[in-house]
Amino acid sequence: MSQIVAVHGVDSTLAFLRRFDRELFQNIRKELIGSAQPLVRAVAAEFPAQPWSAEKGVNWTKYGRTERGRKPPGTSGASFPRYQISKVRKGVKADTGSSRRRSDGTYTILRIKQTDAAGAIYDLAKNQQTLTPDRKSFVKNLNRAKRGQPRSRVMWPTVTKNLPLIMVEVDRIVEKIEGMYSAEIAADTALRQGRSARASVRVRSATGQFGKMVR
């Protein structure tokens, strides 16, 4: 699965809802996903019907990259997924991320992802020294048609370009939550920040536990 983080932040607002008002959190989650549909359509439209041009057509769109969809003798694992534009475009989805904190201290609140395996390969396949000659040829064909910017051929550059399509709506949704719970969110945020600050100055033992060791 390939995914792109489209919006992240406002962690205090959604963290509060996730813990204290699950029903409202689920409703807001649905609103955020709904607000992202113009962006989903814009990303899906950027995936080409053919991954590259070829006089006799591209086998990847006919069979996958194995001969008529079959694995070569002596190999194991799943066959290479066939590139079918209808499935590739339907594979573009929006979701609201997860409750896991990012390295910069924020949380993902909305992301656009590619759930179709062939679509993810088209978007992210790279030319690496470890690739076999046939796979290098495959990536070169992709690169001749469209190179990744910076690493993604479609997802990242299209999301970045079209983010203004949804930001006004996302801001409206978040402001609505903050208007309902501003005092509670501020108090909860201050409490969590205080706990974090106290934890940061406490001494860890050799086993990673806080506090003094008792002998």
Q: Which residue has the higher pLDDT, 98 or 96?
A: 96
C-alpha to C-alpha distance for 215 and 213, rounded to whole angstroms: 6
Domain boundaries defined on the chain: 2-193
Average pLDDT, the chain: 75
Whether the CB-CB separation of 114 and 155 falls below 8 Å is answered with yes
Q: Which two tokens stand for residue 25?
A: 């959190």
Supply the pLDDT for residue 62. 83
Supply the pLDDT for residue 4. 47
pTM to 2 decimals? 0.71
Length of the chain in residues, anyone? 215
pLDDT digits (tens, 9 = 90+) for 50-96: 999 988 888 888 877 555 555 555 555 556 788 999 999 999 999 88
Read off the pLDDT of each residue in 133-140 and give the average, rounded to a whole number: 73
pLDDT digits (tens, 9 = 90+) for 8-25: 545 566 666 777 777 877
Supply the pLDDT for residue 198. 64
Q: How crowded is residue 60: how many other Cβ atoms within 10 Å of its Cβ?
A: 23
C-alpha to C-alpha distance for 61 and 176, rounded to whole angstroms: 46
Supply the pLDDT for residue 164. 85
Helices 22-35 and 11-20 pack at an angle, to 10 degrees, of: 130
Q: Which residue has the tokens 């066939």?
A: 82
pLDDT digits (tens, 9 = 90+) for 152-190: 999 999 998 888 888 888 888 878 877 777 666 667 667
